[in-house]
Amino acid sequence: MTITVTPLEEGFGAEISGIDLSRPLDGEDRRAVYQAFLDSRLIVFRDQDMSPDNAIDAARILGNDLEPHLFKHFHHPDTPLIMVLSNRVNGDGQPKGMKDAGTFWHSDVSYKPNPAKATFLYAREVPDEGGDTLFCDLTAAYDAMPGDMQDRLHGLIAMHDYNHVPRDIFSKLDVTPPPPCPQPVVRTHPETGRKAIYINPGYTTHIEGLEADESADLIKDIFRHCLQDRFRMRYNWRAGDVVAWDNAATMHSATTKNLDPAKHRTIWRLTVSGGPAF
């Protein structure tokens, strides 16, 4: 195949064309896709038509180890490695997938000691409007941060808690969230060596070693900086899109909480396992 990598006009990230993810890729093509992922932090493939096995193989371009999501109720019927995100319901009114996977800013699985390396989404169906995903480039945000602020953040540790934003889904599904865990406020990417802010509004509760007010004020200052328009982008989905991103360098937010239930959106999600952030 002939691969073309084109920066997205909407913001950071890149579109990769010349790839059919339903077919096996040779080693050279897989390395080219992976390098684009490292360089761009977010990659997009258009017009894909994949089976569950195809999606699993494609996600493994970014890392061989995939992990099931905590919510077993929304696993794909063919494999626990795919989580179904959907607002469709069965004939008996039961959800076919998880309606809202997080309409708040977060980095996937930052609440575990080994957070997710990458997230891989494949759009099976999308509405004509609504259901966009917002992204924030935390590497660019760190690079643009004043030097004295960078110095202040180095070495600080923050606590992350999956239940920081209260969600009734835990009680409805009788699922116990994992215990809170510490992560660095500034994370050095294990492969690129680039630094990024590694706290997020969805899961970060406080910064260790600071008084409560000082911690809250510092976190507010960090998010005010990171969430400037120049570091953000809105991704408008099309059916057949695949979007994958580097969780060590970005955060994102769904916008599906208030999606019209008559506008159907079904996406497969796969999670690529990562190592410790320290």
β-sheet bridge partners, residue 215: none
Using one digit for the tens of pLDDT, what is the confidence trace for 177-227? 899 999 999 999 999 999 999 999 999 999 999 999 999 999 999 999 999
State how many domains the chain has.
1
Range of the domain at 45: 4-272
* Structural domain contains residue 278: no
Can you give the pLDDT at residue 177?
87
Q: What is the CATH number of the domain that holds 73?
A: 3.60.130.10
Nearest C-alpha neighbor of 129 from the set 242, 269, 236: 236
Report if residue 202 sits inside a domain: yes
Query: Which residues in the chain land under pLDDT 70?
Result: 1
Q: What is the pTM of this model?
A: 0.96
Backbone angles phi, psi at 251, to 5 degrees: -135, 165
The 10s digit of each residue's pLDDT in 23-39 is 999 999 999 999 999 99
Strand bridging mode 42-45 / 14-17: parallel
- Cβ pair 41, 29 in contact under 8 A: no
- 12 three-class SS: coil
Q: What is the pLDDT of residue 197?
A: 98
Given the structure tokens 């099309």, which residue do they identify?
238
Structure tokens at 142: 């760190």
Tokens coding 122? 């494949």
In a domain, 265, yes or no: yes
Element (H, E) at 42: strand 42-45
Q: Is 227 helix (H, G, I), strand (E, B) or coil?
A: coil
